[in-house]
Each structure stands twice: as C-alpha cells, then as structure tokens.
Amino acid sequence: MTGMDMLNALHIQGDETIAARLEKYNELVMEKNRVMNLTGIKDSGESLIKNVYDSLTVYDARYFPQGGSLLDLGTGAGFPGMILAILRPDMQVVLMDAIRKKLRFIEEAAEILGVSNVTVVHSRAEDAARDGAFRDHFDVVTARAVKSMPVISEWALPFVKKGGIFAAMKGPGAQDELRDASGILSLMGTRLESEKECILPSGEKRVILYLRKNSLTPKRFPRKAGEAERKPIKAVRDKR
C-alpha cells in the first residue's frame, strides 16, 4: 500500500508530498528499529498498515482546526503524532513521552523530512499537565496504546482546552473501557461526542472515541505521578 492509497482509502485529502513523507517516515522508523527498540513491528509493509494507516484513522477534519494545536501523549515512535504533523503542516504539534531516546529519533526524522511543526517534550504526563503552557491548552489531544481509558483520561484531559477534543484510539473493547471511565470523564466535565469504527486492511477493528471537554480541569487532576495507574477512578459497575 502506498501513502496515497492510504489517504484515498480513508478519504483524507493530501498531496503527493504528504504521501511520500508518510512512506519515508515509515522507512526511517524501520531503519532505526534495527538498532533501537522503537516498535514491535519489524516488517515495513506491516508497519505501514499497523502504524501509519492506523495512525491516520484518528484523523477527522472536524476536530483538527486550521492552525490549531495538537498534543500526542505517549507518542513513542511518533504514532499517531508524527503522522498527523505530516498530514497537517498548519497545526502546531507537541509529541510527549516519558522516554527520551524515542523523542531524539523523532527530532532527527523531522529534520530529515523537513517537518517543522513538531516540538518534542520529554515528561511524564502527570508532571507536564501542571505546566501552565500545556494545561487546558490544546485543541486536540491524541493517545494510542498508552493506558486503559480511566488512566489515559486522567492524564490526557487536563491538556485539552475547554471545548476541545480528546481522541482516544482504542480496539474492540472500547465500549467497556468507556463505561469504566465514566467516573473520571464526568469529574472532568467530558462527554462522548462521537465514535468511529475502522477496520484496518489487516482485518483488525479499531474504535476512535472523540470526547469533548466542556469545563476546565479541576485543580486536583491529574493526581501525582503513578497514582492514576495505582488507583484508577473507575465507574461503580452494576453487579446484576
């Protein structure tokens, strides 16, 4: 599958330069992956589908405003953040991760590709969310394969501006995860705006949950580093 095939398959507008950069980024990830553990996927064709195409599934022009700001939390090797930065050069994109070496790779790759709208931030989400430059700031926050919904919601939502969107990339269990997160979502003044189901060309099901944040984050969130994972705020399940 080429970069252009992927854009067409997902009905995303993009020119040849964007399509070529998507392919080239995948090549750079694969090249670096031989000497450093960036992604568990070792085959280039498989990575195009499971990393690049999968990253593109989160894109919905309605939630990514012209000239807006985007944070990809727990970006790892830049998925989906770097793919979205390539797709939308007008947006200011911050890629955050707690592991520095992956961010160094992203900086090098951005330089090679001439992608100038990305900034990397080395931090735990729980710490960066206390920084006034980031808190209640971003039009859209994305996260793929970082943590379960109750945890990632507590980490990601403090970064979203009032009225902005958290796009959580999930698998077939998205509905259960959403139910589990209902407690933290309501504490954060956040509601499900829409959801999208996609089947990857490899056959796997993906579900994107688009959550709208309607109020500023209460001061006590996120709790201190590690606390959301140790004691996630879960919904009380009906035991029928």
| Residues of this chain that bind ligand SAM (CB under 6 A) | 74-77, 79, 96-99, 102, 124-126, 144-146
Min. distance of Cβ 99 from ligand SAM in angstroms? 4
Give 128 or 239: the residue with its C-beta nearer to ligand SAM.
Answer: 128
Tokens at residue 99, please? 């592991």
Min dist. Cβ of residue 205 to ligand SAM (A): 16
Min CB(51)–ligand SAM separation in Å:
6
- Closer residue to ligand SAM (CB): 163 or 200: 200
Nearer to ligand SAM by Cβ, of 17 and 134: the residue is 134
Feature table: binding site for S-adenosyl-L-methionine: 74, 79, 125-126, 144
Nearer to ligand SAM, 126 or 177 (CB): 126
DSSP one-letter code for 53? I
Three-state secondary structure call for residue 48: helix
Residues 6+ apart with CB under 8 A from 59: 10, 12, 84, 87
Going by the annotation, the residues of the binding site are 74, 79, 125-126, 144
160-170 vs 205-213, strand pairing mode: antiparallel
* CA dihedral (55, 57, 60, 63) positive or negative: negative
* CB closest to ligand SAM, residue no: 76
Kindly tell me which of 218 and 226 has the beta carbon lying closer to ligand SAM. 226
Rounded to the nearest whole angstrom, what is the least distance from the CB of residue 84 to ligand SAM in the complex?
A: 12
CB of 219 to ligand SAM, least distance (A): 19
Amino acid at 116: S
Residues 6 or more apart whose CB falls under 8 angstroms from that of 15 comprise: none
